[in-house]
Amino acid sequence: MTCASCAGRVEKALTKVAGVESAAVNLATDKVTVTFDQARTTLPTLAASVQDAGFTLILPAAEGVSVDAGETHQQKAYLQLRREFIIALALAAPIMILSMVGMTHWFMAASPVSMNEVQTLLLVATTALIVFSGKRFYVAAWRLALHAGVDMNTLVTVGTGAAYLYSAAVVLFPGRFSSLPGGRGVYFDTASTIIAFILMGKMLEAKAKLRTSDAVTALMRLTPKTAHIVRNGKEFEIPIAMLGVGDVILVRPGEMVPIDGVITTGESSVDEKMVTGEGIPAEKKAGSAVIGGTMNKNGSFLFEVTAVGADTFLSKIITMVQDAQGSKAPIQALADRIATVFVPVVIGIAMVTFVLWLTVGGGPFSTAMMNFIAVLIIACPCALGLATPTAIMVGTGRGATLGILFRNAASLERAHDVDVVVFDKTGTLTKGAPEVTAIAPLNGWDRNRLLERAAAVEFHSQHPLASAIVESARVGGIAVPGEMHVTSFRALEGFGASATVGVDSVIVGNGALMDSLGVELDTARPAADAFAAQGRTAVYVGVNGVCVGVIALADEIHATSAATVAGMFRMGLDVVMMTGDTEASAHSVAAQAGIRRVVARVLPEGKALEIKKLQSKGHVVAMVGDGINDAPALAQADVGIALGTGTDVAIETADITLMKDDLAGVSTAIALSQRTISTIRQNFFWAFAYNVVGIPLAAFGLLSPAIAAAAMALSSVSVVANSLRLRRVKLPVRP
């Protein structure tokens, strides 16, 4: 494919096949994404329909599904263009020089050959150039003509063909043109330079397009080809493709983790930046999950394979990015509509130009022909076709390197309109697990002794608050509660727990439990009330009928939450927090995060209704969540953003997934969307302006065909180059 017209013809051919629901062609990658019913059609049938339209569909079975095959296809196309350009340049340069000096009297006076012989030499050289370098345009145009189609190749073929055939006729049949005003001139230099310039542009364009998929290529290259498997106490090196779930793999310092799994023995730190965007290596130990494609830093470990092939984390990321890059953004619809009529309209303008210059303009035939050619060559449907897909590819690729996955191009486009961001509280703004934040010992007890007794009881409980108390004891270096002599444990659902620790009767729970058991709380209530006012949960600890202290627990906010919210305000976004938690807890977390608008005590369905209310007021809403209860709200929002550390349901529902537990990615995703859409609009402006200005200039005889060819060649390159700037654009930096 060479332009948007080509892409449109391929899409039209595919969508006509029975059973095809949709087809989206990406001109930047030469790929098409097809949704079809396998019971009604097959891939060979789709390939046949594309063949009938004048193109060739390279099926996965023929090329392979790895990056190597796809990269080879595009690399081969680039290398072929480079070879053809070098040949064209080597021939066009002397043709141009000989054409220029051949018109001078001093050259002909000193030359041992006649003008006819010079022109014959130019004919031979130009013919060679067309056969070896320009053939691609003529073959493509002829193939399309057989299917009643036209595209950029048609414009190039008609333009250069007219100059070549006219000039060849002048050389071969000079007597026929002797009486035509201005008709004895030849224009081999025009045909040759047009082909050379357009090949140069195509070569630069192909080189630049290779760079638009750098992010995906880098992800695909992460996985090593082999792994060190351990079986029956012996180590073997086998290809990754031979691994299965349950295999045990050895990873040494400095080696890549070959596939997903869970560590069984050993510990280390693992650099996961390329797949999660996290710059700080993650500490791993027995029970920790590891991701294929990450780099082991300083320790050896054994891990058990948990996923292979398309089920691995890295494969899912690559698929998600490729799906996004292969999809179409709604903003591209205008270019698609124009592409369907662009080439026929340009051919019509060129023919009108030729006729008017011959009749009204009163100029010689040669002038009319040169202006006719200039109109054909200056028109560039390529720039229009590349305006959107190149920017989408670079934008989604840049997002992937930052740990941000866009579901499709529409998600990327929609995010730039967001003006309200709604955050879930638990697990999104907060860490999602309670932590001990304060301890108030009473009646002569010290902090460590109090925590020791409470942890001894809670060690036997499964409640999240109990786990937080046990973890606090461990972090504080207090004796492992499980090693203490604990008997008569009772879990009192909704109230707390009790047990005998050594010789002491210990109760850990809420005020209702203490009151029911007759434990006096007068001295403890001030501390408990103060904790509650701060949005914390107060847990009383009673020993032998006496309250010996109060432990405060809270779901702490992420370290980046406040900075992220502040950054959104600077971007002009409004921020809302929605939670099913109490008013006190909700407002406490909101205050810490810097959020002023809070909706508390709302059920999952209620969150979706609240978002609908915002949308009814004209707002474009993004919802950020991580749990199953966020799925309705994520689906209702204009843009659903899920944390990659959340549930699969939330991620499947979301339009954007953050691969790491870092809310700074929300503002980064929105900013990336804004810059990508801005780039697309710039591309469209220059593509439209180029054609709107260039075609009239050519029609009025103000552009020579050679200059028109150079301008056409560089127009597509400029669009791709402008899109590539997204790789370096400054975005909100993660705190």
> Around Cβ 392, how many Cβ atoms within 10 Å?
32
Element (H, E) at 387: helix 381-401
Residue 163 backbone phi and psi in degrees, to 5: -65, -40
C-alpha gyration radius of the chain: 35
Is 563:735 a contact under the CB 8 Å cutoff?
yes
Is 551:451 a contact under the CB 8 Å cutoff?
yes
DSSP code, position 444: T
DSSP code, position 536: P
Q: Which residue carries 């807890």 as its tokens?
A: 585
For residues 81 and 728, give the distance between their C-alpha atoms in angstroms, rounded to a whole number: 28
Q: Is 444 exposed, middle or buried (0-12, 13-18, 19+ CB in 10 A)?
A: exposed
In our burial notation (b when 16+ CB lie closer than 10 A, e otherwise), range 398-433 reads bbbbbbbbbbbbbbbbbbbebbbbbbbbbbbbbbbe
**Partners of 249 in the β-ladder:** 229, 303
Is 653:634 a contact under the CB 8 Å cutoff?
yes
Residue 432 backbone phi and psi in degrees, to 5: 85, 0
Residue 260 backbone phi and psi in degrees, to 5: -70, 145
For residues 263 and 268, give the distance between their C-alpha atoms in angstroms, rounded to a whole number: 10
661 in active site:
no
**Partners of 490 in the β-ladder:** 498
The pair of three-digit structure tokens given for residue 169, joined into one six-digit string = 């006729």
Please choose, from the candidates 383, 384, 222, the residue with its C-alpha nearest in 3D space to the C-alpha of residue 315: 222
Contacts of 673 (CB under 8 A, 6+ apart): 395, 412, 413, 414, 415, 416, 418
For residues 553 and 434, give the distance between their C-alpha atoms in angstroms, rounded to a whole number: 6
Q: Which of the residues 30, 271, 424, 638 is marked catalytic?
A: 424
**Partners of 551 in the β-ladder:** 439, 539
DSSP code, position 463: -
Please choose, from the candidates 291, 166, 293, the residue with its C-alpha nearest in 3D space to the C-alpha of residue 221: 293
Residue 540 backbone phi and psi in degrees, to 5: -85, 150
Q: Which residue carries 């700074």 as its tokens?
A: 664
Is 558:661 a contact under the CB 8 Å cutoff?
yes
Residues 580, 581, 587, 592, CA torsion sign: negative
The pair of three-digit structure tokens given for residue 366, joined into one six-digit string = 């040669």
C-alpha atoms less than 13 angstroms from C-alpha of 33 in its C-beta half-sphere? 15
Residues designated as active site: 424
